[in-house]
Chain A
């Protein structure tokens, strides 16, 4: 809602308060003022001029040479390119020295050899948006009515010496979609009186009901319909001040009749519609739901097909308006209209909203009906409109109204205790202060002891419960005056759950290991949604996606991280190490919520260490990433329970991928991205993993127990085993562990050789075995006995040969 500061002064005394101060006060007490626009900012020196002579420019077809009286001693010559400039017009002249928007300074000039002392202006040259300029002047200069005085400030005449407060209204404050609503609000804030218009209408003896009868079939959609009839109207431009106010409020002027309905819409918040009575072609208005497939051509010349969801105004048979949204072309007020039927009605919000949505038509009228108009203003607005029609369109108002009124307006009455107000706000406001606030709001109140009973005016449909009243008190009492306290009562322990703590541990660990945390989108394309999924189910698709790229919910994180890697590599960030924790979505069928599983995924490529000047620069490989995961499982106390088994996973390198099993349950995979995928994404060797974090965290971890520091020395024996190339280290290690029994404290690979000194098809793996007895110092003999057992087992079970 655009609120004119000057116009508002007609209802509330604003003396001593600048527009900026007013904006601040309004914002602080409930309605955000999003901006204050100074309409004539950067504009000066524009006066009313009188075109005394106009002739064709001698050297230019499209230019006119005008002699213009600008209220100075002598008329001046101005060259004007507007097609509609003519002798006798009153026009806006930017005189020499004037400044127009964009700091455009008007100087004396010569145009094609002819002197020009100023510029005759169009409205857009005066800073008015093109869509707000009346059609007849949209292509040329604006022509003023003849009664303006030459030399006067043209901007003042156009109501541009004003400031406009732009209100950002929340859904509940539809009441402020009217000047009167804003006046009540401002009156309450400033504690000043509100002066309402008091229409004085002289009627003729003919009765409106002789001209029209109203019938309403759809009473729920339209509980109140008031029609007034005005005859002998002269359709003409509306007064300049009214056009100025409409433009400042964002509405384009048309003619006096239409402008008056729009003016009342702004003033009262009550949308009105003017029909050309003679074009209605009947003496009946019938309000009903449309028939399926029924058609109407609306004022914007669009033919619209209706359904039974839509409410229409008809002349008894044909629709003449889409109720509350837009009038029909067949009954439009035109230049030759003489009798006007004025509609002022209460249409139900949801009905209007439906029609407005279905037809993509959001009008000033529909947005007000949607939010709910004040039922008690329907007649008042009509009364005010006919007053203006009589004044500015020369109309004669017929006596009375044709009406259907089934509206039962019961004002909301709420009782609240002072104790409750103070308890909710944490304040110590007195009963007098509270009562004073409601008086300022012009809410009728009675105070009984410490209970206040408030009758809420119908204009404030947003107030229905005690809490709404508390808000009114709070905002006018001032939030600054509410103290700052902390909740009292028993204290509660604050903590992270074990799961949440583990998630933080994982993040810190991975970051310590060199990975950056990434956050990517959950929505992805159909192709990517199921790539690399640990578990696949029906993809979950959006009903109305905005693009194919974001149309389905992801079942894995890796495709998103590969995008991140690709993005970075393409921007010279050659070494990338990232991880993400977040949900993947597994469908449980239509209308059931999916399973959201938290996954952990990571991707690395490039150098292990950047900016290294010593030693060899090493690229990341499978074992770098595996080492990171092993460290992670160690951190989570699960390293003994995790197994890595060679596996084939789609999109992964078949020889360099392992599936991970935790206590026998598959939890994810790790490996190199398949070279063809790498190529598609323009990546070098890239390694990824994805784990079901929920499964990992769900695994029971033995409580931490101290193990005594060894008091006796251990004995280490190294062995090198020659085995078939296909034999995997993990298998041999298991054999060693099993055979080593409880004296074997630790075993690990310390070398692998597959070079030229080996027999073809063989490799040598070296293990280091550490023997230890916590009870005593082991003797060589004791170790040898176990070690021999190990060697025998390895030879027998894996066909290994001890390397010399």
Chain B
């Protein structure tokens, strides 16, 4: 009987060894360990054994059972793992193939610049003011200290619709309109982006339509030094932390004193290159202290209030910043041009 059990154990272990799949293994389990299996058969003959031998034999039978059972278990785990592996192998993909494309567009580069500037100034307490693109001569010129006889307002340079109505040549009329609305009470802190129009033939550096963005602060005790500090922040944010600015005296009818503002060249850092024409500086905007006539015309007491204003061409900023060589690109909207401005720097 003992031999028979050993034999069965040997036989079972060999069968387990040979089993190649879970189904075969299960058959082995049933055939050896099942109620009708050979071990049970062997145990049925236990009655013939002596009382001393019976527990011994019982223990042996259990031991054989356990060994077979453990072997099956072990084999099963092995087979299961192999099956998973086989499945995974069959499911392998080429991960270097491209993903399913998500088609997205992006901001036009001009909007990108405008929003960047808007956000910077909103953070400093400005609001965004907008105004009409078809404007009265009064707001476009007269309210900005450019009376009808002023040499700087040649009809040849503006798109007039009638004698009194024209396409605005600058975003400054928005400043005049906003100040007027404030009814002589400060503070006014606005940033005004928008399209403007001039009678220019379109070429690589001229466009009859372009964008400007202007800023205006009117309050008590606004100083030239405030303008300088504000523009310094602006230059660093837009062109990089290492930028410096310098102010050069200039002339605009609506500001006095007036300055043009140069930013140290962001390409060469100020050493001189082709972008800055070897000067180390790039002219980016015009600005100044709001002319008392402009304040008065818009209902502000120039004795009590002062202010600064600044303005720049958005295309110029974009061209400088991104190295764009032809202003017409902004208006032809070639997809190969537009899609280059999706990156968040």
Interface residues of A in 561-580 (CB under 8 A from B): 564, 567-568, 571, 573, 576-579
- B292's partner among A467, A485, A568, A593 (CB-CB below 8 A) is A467
CA distance A514 to B126 in the complex (A): 32
Query: A27-B248, A591-B165 are contacts. A521–B209 as well, Cβ < 8 Å?
Result: yes
Contact B104 A514 (CB under 8 A): yes
Query: A495-B122, A521-B209, A522-B195 are contacts. A573–B189 as well, Cβ < 8 Å?
Result: no
A523 contacts the other chain (Cβ, under 8 Å)? yes
Chain A residues near B149: list those with CB within 8 A.
350
Query: A471-B258, A486-B226, A494-B125 are contacts. A519–B333 as well, Cβ < 8 Å?
Result: yes
B194 nearest CB across to chain A (Å):
10
Contact B334 A573 (CB under 8 A): yes
Contact A608 B331 (CB under 8 A): no
A487 contacts the other chain (Cβ, under 8 Å)? yes
- A507's partner among B111, B230, B331 (CB-CB below 8 A) is B111
Q: How does the 8 Å CB contact mask read for A288-329 relative to B, with 1 for contact and 0 for none?
A: 000000000000000000000000000000000000000000
CA distance A425 to B195 in the complex (A): 32
Q: Which residue of A lies closest to B187 (CB)?
A: A492
Q: How does the 8 Å CB contact mask read for A510-521 relative to B, with 1 for contact and 0 for none?
A: 111111111111
Query: A467-B257, A494-B189, A516-B105 are contacts. A593–B134 as well, Cβ < 8 Å?
Result: yes
Query: A479-B249, A487-B219 are contacts. A504–B228 as well, Cβ < 8 Å?
Result: no
Chain B residues near A612: list those with CB within 8 A.
100-101
Contact A542 B209 (CB under 8 A): no
B75 nearest CB across to chain A (Å):
41
Contact B335 A32 (CB under 8 A): no
Q: Choose the segment among A82-90, A168-176, A205-213 that binds chain B (4+ C-beta atoms closer than 8 Å).
A: A168-176
A751 contacts the other chain (Cβ, under 8 Å)? no
Q: Choose the segment among A216-224, A392-400, A543-551 that binds chain B (4+ C-beta atoms closer than 8 Å).
A: A543-551
Query: A500-B128, A519-B330, A546-B201 are contacts. A482–B224 as well, Cβ < 8 Å?
Result: yes
Of A30, A519, A591, most B-chain CB atoms within 10 Å? A519
A197 contacts the other chain (Cβ, under 8 Å)? no
Contact A487 B222 (CB under 8 A): yes
A518 nearest CB across to chain B (Å):
4
Interface residues of B in 215-266 (CB under 8 A from A): 217, 219-226, 228-230, 232-233, 246-251, 253, 256-260
Chain A residues near B217: list those with CB within 8 A.
487
Q: Which residue of A lies closest to B338 (CB)?
A: A516
CA distance A592 to B134 in the complex (A): 10
Chain A residues near B125: list those with CB within 8 A.
491-494
Contact B249 A494 (CB under 8 A): no
B108 contacts the other chain (Cβ, under 8 Å)? yes
Q: Choose the segment among B47-55, B79-87, B156-164, B267-275 that binds chain A (4+ C-beta atoms closer than 8 Å).
A: B156-164
A409 contacts the other chain (Cβ, under 8 Å)? no
B208 contacts the other chain (Cβ, under 8 Å)? yes
B181 nearest CB across to chain A (Å):
14
Q: Which residue of A lies closest to B330 (CB)?
A: A519
Chain A residues near B226: list those with CB within 8 A.
426, 485-488
CA distance A494 to B195 in the complex (A): 22
A575 nearest CB across to chain B (Å):
8
Contact A516 B339 (CB under 8 A): yes
Size band of the interface chain A makes with B = 35 or more
- B134's partner among A487, A521, A578, A594 (CB-CB below 8 A) is A594
Contact A514 B105 (CB under 8 A): yes
Number of B residues whose C-beta is below 8 Å from A?
Answer: 85
Chain A residues near B100: list those with CB within 8 A.
609, 612, 614
Query: A467-B257, A492-B125, A519-B330 are contacts. A485–B105 as well, Cβ < 8 Å?
Result: no
Contact A610 B101 (CB under 8 A): yes
A653 contacts the other chain (Cβ, under 8 Å)? no
Chain A residues near B123: list those with CB within 8 A.
494
Query: A610-B103, A614-B100 are contacts. A427–B225 as well, Cβ < 8 Å?
Result: yes
Interface residues of B in 67-112 (CB under 8 A from A): 97-98, 100-101, 103-108, 110-111
Contact A496 B257 (CB under 8 A): no
Contact A544 B256 (CB under 8 A): no
B36 contacts the other chain (Cβ, under 8 Å)? no
A489 contacts the other chain (Cβ, under 8 Å)? yes
Chain B residues near A172: list those with CB within 8 A.
251
Contact A519 B110 (CB under 8 A): yes
CA distance A252 to B144 in the complex (A): 40
Contact A596 B259 (CB under 8 A): no
Chain A residues near B155: list those with CB within 8 A.
544
Contact B160 A544 (CB under 8 A): yes
Of B152, B159, B162, most A-chain CB atoms within 10 Å? B159
Contact A511 B104 (CB under 8 A): yes
Contact B220 A486 (CB under 8 A): no
CA distance A353 to B136 in the complex (A): 24
A370 contacts the other chain (Cβ, under 8 Å)? yes
A113 contacts the other chain (Cβ, under 8 Å)? no
Query: A484-B232, A489-B187 are contacts. A519–B108 as well, Cβ < 8 Å?
Result: yes
B58 contacts the other chain (Cβ, under 8 Å)? no
- B225's partner among A173, A425, A470, A582 (CB-CB below 8 A) is A425
Contact A517 B133 (CB under 8 A): no
B65 contacts the other chain (Cβ, under 8 Å)? no
B197 contacts the other chain (Cβ, under 8 Å)? yes
Chain A residues near B225: list those with CB within 8 A.
425-427, 482-485
Contact B104 A424 (CB under 8 A): no
B214 contacts the other chain (Cβ, under 8 Å)? no
CA distance A661 to B248 in the complex (A): 55
Chain B residues near A124: list those with CB within 8 A.
none
B291 contacts the other chain (Cβ, under 8 Å)? yes
Taking A470-B256, A494-B189 as known contacts, 16 extra A-B pairs with beta carbons closer than 8 A to each other, sorted by chain A number, are A171-B251, A350-B149, A423-B221, A467-B257, A468-B256, A470-B257, A479-B259, A480-B246, A480-B247, A482-B224, A485-B225, A486-B226, A486-B230, A571-B334, A590-B162, A592-B165
9 contacts between A and B (CB under 8 A): A424-B224, A470-B256, A484-B232, A497-B128, A523-B197, A578-B105, A585-B133, A593-B132, A612-B101
**Interface of B toward A, CB cutoff 8 Å:** 97-98, 100-101, 103-108, 110-111, 115, 118, 121-128, 132-136, 149, 151-152, 155, 159-162, 164-165, 167, 187, 189, 195, 197, 199, 201, 208-209, 217, 219-226, 228-230, 232-233, 246-251, 253, 256-260, 289, 291-292, 306, 330-336, 338-339
**Interface of A toward B, CB cutoff 8 Å:** 27-30, 32, 170-173, 350, 353, 370-371, 423-427, 465, 467-468, 470-471, 474-475, 479-480, 482-497, 500, 504, 507, 510-523, 540-546, 550, 553, 564, 567-568, 571, 573, 576-579, 582-583, 585, 590-594, 596, 608-614
